[in-house]
Amino acid sequence: MSGSIGPDDGFERLLAGETPKTPEEQALGLFLEDVRGAFQAEPSLAEEAHLAAIVQAAQLLADKGEPAVRSASKAEGRARHASGLPKRRRVIMKVPLMRSLAAKVVAGLVVLMSMFGGLALAGALPGQGADDDATDVVEIQDVSDEAPETEAPETEAPETEDADDQGENADDQGENEANDDQGENEDADDQGDDDQGENEDADDQGENVNDDQGENVNDDQGENEDADDQGDNDQGEQD
Amino acid sequence: MALGESFAGVLKAARVGAEWAWRALYADTAPDLLRYARASRAPDPEDVVGETFLRAVRGVGSFERDERGFRAWLFTLARNRIVDEHRKLVRRRTDPLPVEVLVEIGPHADAETEAMRALAEDRIRSVLDRLTPDQRDVLLLRILGGLTIEEVATVVRKKQGAVKALQARGIAAIRDKSELGAVTL
């Protein structure tokens, strides 16, 4: 048949059972009839066996209760389980902190501490004003009656602190002495480094070191070097 | 749809295992499922129908849609089963059945009717084989399953636009490559 199949609208009308209007729809309608005729709805030989198995399975699952009835396929997406456990678990995960008794107690303590702390800063606590008066009286008594005794601890405390500081300073001084020594050594090293950068100075240092070694260890070495130098000079002179 | 307004009551009874409810659901849907399984070249179409309903039994407790949705859900289960059967068929070798078994499960109508039906089926298959698997699936679900574009999209897990495109291309392929008159009985 040479007729072409019409657009989707014609296909939808034919599927709805309407009669074809155009030759194109007629051709398409014949094709649909052929498909339906080729695969007819015949009575299934296994119908009773299917129904027996279906009913048995359905009654078995119904006897087990609702939690056992779950989605057998993910075709419709992940189905929610019939049992209530996953939902409860989700709720717990949403508010995990407030589920424990300890968390509630801690939260209450935090609220109380913040509240009384604010009151204490504002000086609004009941006994806070009396304490201030008492301290004022004590301060007045200290000044008038026992000024030396009260001053002594006050002065002793800074003295001890100063003494500690001095001790620390002494230690620091001792450390500084050691550091000074090290500093000297470092200076010497620095000089050595600087001198190494300059060849002429390095030569000078070598001379200085050799001088020191000569003084500390063997004067003969210095003399030998001098002798070598003299020898070189002599050779040069001979050349 | 045969159940119509009574579907909600039937579904409720099916959830508690009422035999009459499952018989009603089976009578309403199983013939179309069997036609779809045959047209999709399922190795054992009746087994596909039985397994589909057994899966429906296990999942009906959480099913909360209407009759159209129930029908589409069953076709989804059937399609998944067919796909699984095809995959298994590729992996396993087939054992030939004895002649006695073939005679028992073979056609029971008269020879002329069976011959005409087999001839028509071969012609239709020759046309459907020219389509891609997705195009063939969409057309069979629409023609034999009676599903809408939206329902087919749910079954094949594609967007509605993709299903419309597959349907249009399938029809165009049939139009271009076949003589529809030759298919007509």
Q: Taking the CB of residue B155, how many other CB atoms lie within 10 A of it? A: 25
Chain B interface includes A137 (CB < 8 A): no
Task: Please give the residue that has the higher pLDDT: either A122 or B77.
Answer: B77
Token output for A92? 């717990």
Token output for B74? 């069953």
Judged against a pLDDT cut of 80, whether residue A57 lies above it is answered with yes
User: How far apart are the C-alpha atoms of A224 and A230, rounded to whole Å?
Assistant: 9
Task: Please give the residue that has the higher pLDDT: either A140 or B176.
Answer: B176
**B140: chain A residues, CB-CB within 8 Å:** 35
Task: Please give the residue that has the higher pLDDT: either A78 or B87.
Answer: B87
Reported ipTM? 0.79
Least confident span in A67-76, A229-238, B89-98, B167-176: A229-238
CB contact under 8 A, B22 and A58: yes
Task: Let me know if A41 is exposed, middle or buried by CB neighbors in 10 A (0-12, 13-18, 19+).
Answer: middle
The per-residue pLDDT for range B112-143, each reduced to its tens digit, is 777 877 888 888 888 888 899 999 999 999 99
- What is the pLDDT at residue B36? 94
**B47: chain A residues, CB-CB within 8 Å:** 46
**A77: chain B residues, CB-CB within 8 Å:** none
- What is the pLDDT at residue B114? 75
User: How far apart are the C-alpha atoms of B7 and B21, rounded to whole Å?
Assistant: 9
Judged against a pLDDT cut of 70, whether residue A104 lies above it is answered with yes
Task: Let me know if A209 is exposed, middle or buried by CB neighbors in 10 A (0-12, 13-18, 19+).
Answer: exposed
- What is the pLDDT at residue A128? 62
The per-residue pLDDT for range B8-39, each reduced to its tens digit, is 999 999 999 899 999 999 999 999 999 999 99
- What is the pLDDT at residue A142? 53
Least confident span in A131-135, A155-159, B8-12: A155-159
**A34: chain B residues, CB-CB within 8 Å:** 120, 123-124, 183-185
The per-residue pLDDT for range B75-85, each reduced to its tens digit, is 999 999 999 98
Contact A39, B38 (CB under 8 A): yes
Contact B121, A42 (CB under 8 A): no
Chain B interface includes A112 (CB < 8 A): no
Judged against a pLDDT cut of 80, whether residue A169 lies above it is answered with no
* Residue of chain B whose alpha carbon sits nearest to that of A58: B17
Token output for A99? 């589920």
Q: Among B69, B78, B82, B79, which residue's Cα sits nearest to residue B150? A: B69
- What is the pLDDT at residue A8? 72
Q: Taking the CB of residue A33, how many other CB atoms lie within 10 A of it? A: 15
- What is the pLDDT at residue B153? 96
Which secondary structure element, helix H or strand E, spans residue A2, and what is its range? none
User: How far apart are the C-alpha atoms of B141 and B133, rounded to whole Å?
Assistant: 12
Tell me what the mean pLDDT of segment A190-217 comes to: 40
- What is the pLDDT at residue B140? 95
Range B67-93 burial, b when 16+ CB lie within 10 A, else e:
beebbbbbbbbbbbbbeebeeeeeeee
Least confident span in A79-83, A113-117, A154-158: A154-158
Tell me what the mean pLDDT of segment B67-77 comes to: 95
Q: Structure pTM?
A: 0.54
Chain B interface includes A110 (CB < 8 A): no
Range A86-107 burial, b when 16+ CB lie within 10 A, else e:
eeeeeeeeeeeeeeeeeeeeee
